């Protein structure tokens, strides 16, 4: 048996002895080999100051010396282990990880929660925009949300996100993001129909101007809006307070007036106040899904950019 299993003969004899002590049909009564209380003592028992020293390293600004070197470096478990070694507490990085978990620590990123100063009428402004949108939708009048998406480099540049590919064969792209002089950048300007849950994106290759923004709205109306709202007399636009469609841009107002004259629509614009542009519907209802659709895909040409935007679909019915 010892030759067949590789176990020592003394271990086999011990097993036979334990089997003989068990009643017929019952399992072994001992669920462990080592007796209770055996083994090495925990490091925290041998070194009572270990946990306190670890906490001082993790939070040097509030619990320890503000001049600690680790205050200005990445506090990884390896660096914490080395710092504890220098302080006379020999401990491995895996044990440091377990001790941090026992203390209630976890790996966390920053959280955007501080809004900063806000106008006392901020809530009233947002409620006003919401009321205007609801009123237009009740009257079956078009309501659109407009904005410029982040400018993108065209070429074999890295694009954020990951995509399924054969193992060990990632898409190869350039090391540095220096703009290709021939391909340049693209400026996607979006128009999102809040009622129909459909979008239009004009991809510009020059500058993001107010004239380009209004031209994008004009093309949306010509290709999509006029067919969806044949009886429309009014148009409500919700937009950020800055950029090409900012409330101070005179060209934006002049171009919108020209659009109103062409279409016989009464155009009304509601600008979100500073710091509230994230509530603009186009941000999280359209642009976010475009980013998901082209994640991990190098935008190697204008055709690729247009097709990836135009084929964006969601399970909730969004189409662009």
**Range of 227's domain?**
122-160+178-310
Going by C-alpha positions, the residue among 245, 217, 219 that lies closest to residue 144 is: 217
Residue 303 and residue 213 share a domain: yes
Q: Do 238 and 133 reside in the same domain of the chain?
A: yes
Whether 111 is covered by a domain: the verdict is no
168 pLDDT exceeds 90?
Answer: no
DSSP conformation class of 151? P
In tens, the pLDDT along 253-284 reads 999 999 999 999 999 999 998 878 888 999 99
Tokens standing for residue 265: 């629509």
Whether the model pTM is above 0.85: no
For residue 25, tell me if it sits in a domain. no
Q: What angle do CA 297, 148, 271 make, to 5 degrees?
A: 150
d(CA 155, CA 177): 9
Report which of residues 105 and 200 the model is more confident about. Answer: 200
Question: 76 with 135, same domain?
Answer: no
Higher pLDDT, 109 or 284: 284
For residues 71 and 141, state if they share a domain.
no
CA atoms of 145 and 150, how far apart (whole Å)? 16
Same domain for 217 and 142? yes
The CA distances from residue 3 to 8, 9, 65, in Å, are 9, 9, 61
Same domain for 71 and 183? no
Average pLDDT, the chain: 88
CATH number of the structural domain spanning residue 272: 3.30.420.10
Domain boundary among 104, 133, 148: 104
Element (DSSP H or E) covering residue 213? helix 210-220
The one-character DSSP state at 195 is T
pLDDT tier at 15, thresholds 50, 70, 90: confident
Q: Is residue 166 part of a domain?
A: no
For the segment 27-52, what is each residue's pLDDT rounded down to a tens digit? Answer: 555 566 666 666 778 888 888 888 88
Query: Do both 194 and 238 map to the same domain?
Result: yes
Q: Strands 198-204, 234-239: parallel, antiparallel or unpaired by DSSP?
A: unpaired
CA distance 113 to 172: 37
Question: What is the pLDDT at residue 73?
Answer: 63
Count of structural domains, the chain:
2
Radius of gyration of the chain (CA): 32
pLDDT at 196 over 60: yes
Whether residue 47 lies inside any domain: the answer is: yes
Tell me whether residue 59 is in a domain.
yes
| Residue 144 · residue 256 · CB < 8 Å | no
Q: Are residues 147 and 189 in the same domain?
A: yes
206 band by pLDDT with thresholds 50, 70 and 90: confident
- Position 27 in a domain: no
What tokens appear for 56 in the block? Answer: 């001082």
Q: Model confidence at 167, in pLDDT bands (50, 70, 90)? A: confident
Nearest 5°: CA angle at 177, between 172 and 183?
90
pLDDT for residue 18: 83
pLDDT of the residue at 286 = 95
Helix (H, G, I), strand (E, B) or coil at 93: helix
pLDDT digits (tens, 9 = 90+) for 286-295: 999 999 999 9
The answer on 90 and 130 residing in a single domain is no
CA atoms of 309 and 187, how far apart (whole Å): 12
154 plus 301 within the same structural domain: yes
In this structure, is residue 36 part of a structural domain?
no
Domain assignment present for residue 117? The answer is: no
Measuring CA to CA, how many Å separate 183 from each of 171, 179, 186, 216, 308?
Answer: 20, 8, 9, 21, 17
Residue 216 and residue 273 in one domain: yes
Sequential DSSP letters for 273-293: PTT-GGGSHHIIIIIHHHHHH
Residues 203 and 91 in one domain: no
């Amino acid at each position: 048996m010892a030759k067949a299993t590789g176990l020592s003969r003394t271990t086999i004899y011990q097993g036979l002895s334990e089997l003989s002590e068990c009643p017929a049909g019952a399992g072994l009564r001992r669920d462990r080999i080592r007796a209770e209380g055996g083994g090495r003592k925990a490091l925290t028992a041998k070194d009572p100051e270990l946990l306190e020293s670890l906490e001082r390293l993790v939070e040097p600004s509030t619990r320890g010396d503000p001049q600690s070197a680790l205050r200005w470096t990445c506090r990884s478990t390896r660096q914490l282990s080395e710092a504890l070694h220098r302080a006379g507490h020999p401990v491995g990085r895996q044990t440091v990880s377990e001790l941090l978990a026992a203390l209630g620590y976890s790996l966390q990123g920053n959280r955007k929660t501080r809004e900063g100063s806000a106008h006392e009428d901020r809530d009233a402004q947002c409620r006003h925009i919401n009321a205007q949108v609801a009123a237009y939708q009740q009257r079956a009048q078009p309501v659109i949300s407009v904005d410029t998406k982040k400018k993108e480099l065209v070429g074999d540049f890295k694009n954020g996100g990951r995509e399924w590919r054969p193992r060990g064969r990632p898409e190869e792209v350039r090391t540095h993001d220096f703009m290709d002089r021939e391909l340049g950048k693209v400026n996607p300007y979006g128009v999102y129909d809040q009622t129909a849950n459909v979008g239009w994106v004009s991809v510009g290759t020059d500058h993001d101007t107010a004239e380009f923004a209004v031209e994008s709205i004009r093309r949306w109306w010509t290709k999509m809006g006029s067919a969806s709202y044949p009886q429309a007399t009014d148009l409500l636009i919700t937009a950020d307070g800055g950029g090409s469609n900012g409330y101070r841009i005179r060209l934006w107002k002049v171009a919108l007036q020209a659009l109103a004259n062409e279409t016989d629509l009464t155009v009304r614009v509601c600008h979100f106040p500073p710091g509230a542009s994230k509530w603009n519907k186009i941000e999280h209802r359209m642009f976010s899904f475009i980013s998901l659709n082209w994640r991990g895909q190098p935008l190697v040409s204008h055709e690729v950019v247009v097709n990836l935007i135009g084929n964006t679909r969601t399970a909730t019915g969004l189409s662009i």
